[in-house]
Structure 1
Amino acid sequence: MERTAPPQETATPTPAGAPGSDVPGLLDGVPRQRSPRETAAPGVREPVPAAVPRLRTLRPWRLLPTPPGTPFTFGYAILLCATSLFSACADPALVHALLQGSSTDVAHLVRTPELVLIGSALWVAGGVTSPFAVAFVLVLTALERRIGGLRTAGVFLLGHVLATLATEVPVGLAVLAGHLPGSSLHRLDYGVSFGVAAGIGALAGLLPLPLRVPLLAGFGWILLQDLLAFSDPMTNWGHLIALVIGVATWPQVRRWRAGRRLVQASHQA
């Protein structure tokens, strides 16, 4: 009986690229293109493309105060506009009496210090077109957008109060020592310039160096020129003192700004 060989099995070609296949594809000369995930070494993550930073568009209207963005500066500016309009339209004798009653001279500081320190900051010397009125709007708006309204008010009041005391207390001591006449106790002193000067000093610490140096140098030069002119030395010294007070707040205002940025970033996440 003849023995027949078993039929040979016909091997089915495995498609190229299939798992476990050693058989090349139909086009052996063209290698298959692998994805980055296949070519990456084990345990190495695929690099994530870096995000392209967006260019910040210039928004000039942010230089001006707004009720939702800078409520402290906006409300204070409205109040100063109202008092300036009143002083321009009301009876001059009445205006002078009100200004004299809110003056931060030595006589008023001894009797009603809280009242005159607040009342003197409700007026703008020279009206709303004066340089310090314009600086008030621009500087406090920029400062409030960086550190918030309550902290901006704190910097303003710090400069206003400390610079006032630093200029008026020596006058009182000089009168007591007999170096100045008694009329020096009743000088007219009011306005927001001390607070604005402190705001300029504080804001400079939050600006980049190319803006910080010109701001401090320019404003400081103006104050030195006013002091050398000797037209109102007490007020001029007060401006310089308030500027130094603002510069002294740099460590604190920078911490406030960093904390404010963290809060804003957490809200946007």
Structure 2
Amino acid sequence: MSASGSVRSAAAAVWGWIRSAPGTYLWLAALSVTTAIENRLSPEEARIWLGHRSTNLDRLGEDPIRVLIGSAFWIDGGGWLVYAVLFSLVHANAERWLGTVRWLAVVVVAHVGATYLSQGLLLLAIRQDRAPERAAFVLDVGVSYGLAGVAAVLAYRMVLPWRVPYVLGVLMICVPPVFVGRTFTDVGHAGAALIGFACYPLTRGRDSRWNPSTRWRAFVARRRGRHRHRD
């Protein structure tokens, strides 16, 4: 195969990969644009800009729909490449498995549910004088609640016994910070994971037989086959 043919083949493979999870990669593309905009702002300008899109108590009280949507398209502090990897590992796999509509439903439910859970508990803490009133204006943007929810729902794609350690792993990542850091975002991540587990009805009718052992054996077999071919 010529060099140009190899390039076209690789481009077609990449395009096919992107088309298999369109929602994930459109979202990621939007995040790349907003991250580039954020990086061009001064720290003070970025704080003001993100503040208008924050799902804190103040903004939720004034314009909830706008900030719930807007906050999902910004990353506080950059880090787009990290999220590109996480989106490819979590969101893209879930979208291919569930389909775009069901995947998006999990994202929305986890994002909105975890936001109101965490901010509701924060409001309660403020009213009980366990948190300062300025906490109602704290910056809260990002995609991590939706990511946690989708990571949790992926547990139902796995066969037993692999599902058990996967669930325990998600819980170990999301739950302990609630008792250590004790911030509203820690509560939000734990809540999003629990919401993701509760989205089991959306997984019905989907193949739930993904087996890491089978995938690993297939990978090893392919590697051995290539070595034998070279020899």
Higher relative contact order (CA 8 A, sep 6+): 2
Distance 1:211 1:142 in 2: 17
- Aligned partner of 2:116 among 165, 175, 183: 165
Compute the displacement of 1:102 (Å). 0.7
- Match runs of 1:55-204 below 5 Å: 66-126=17-77, 127-130=79-82, 134-204=85-155
The question of whether the paired residues in 2 share the 8 Å contact of 1:167 and 1:238 is answered with yes
Deviation at 1:78, TM superposition (A): 0.7
Identify unmatched segments of 5+ residues in structure 2. Answer: 1-12, 208-231
- CA 1:183–1:109 in structure 2 vs 1: closer, same or farther (change >3 Å)? same
Tell me the distance in 1 between the aligned counterparts of 2:186 and 2:17: 31
The question of whether the paired residues in 1 share the 8 Å contact of 2:94 and 2:150 is answered with yes
CA distance in 2, matches of 1:252, 1:103: 29
Residue 247 (str. 1) matches residue 197 (str. 2): yes
Structure number with the higher helix fraction is 2
Distance in 2 (CA, whole Å) between partners of 1:85 and 1:179 is: 37
Q: Which residue of 1 aligns with 2:173?
A: 222
TM (normalized to structure 2)? 0.75
Tell which structure's C-alpha radius of gyration is larger.
1
Q: Which runs of 5+ in 1 are unaligned?
A: 1-61, 259-269
Q: How many residues align?
A: 195
8 Å contact kept, 2:102–2:202: no
How far residue 237 of structure 1 moved from its aligned partner, in angstroms, is: 1.3
8 Å Cα contact 1:193-1:239 kept in structure 2: yes
Contact 1:79/1:122, CA 8 A, preserved across alignment: yes
Which contiguous aligned blocks of 4+ residues in structure 1 show a shift greater than 6 angstroms?
Answer: 62-65
Q: TM-score, normalised by structure 1?
A: 0.66
Deviation at 1:81, TM superposition (A): 1.5
Measured after TM superposition, the shift of residue 65 of structure 1 is: 8.3
Hey, what's the Cα distance between the residues in 2 that align with 1:138 and 1:172? 34
CA RMSD for the aligned pairs? Answer: 2.5
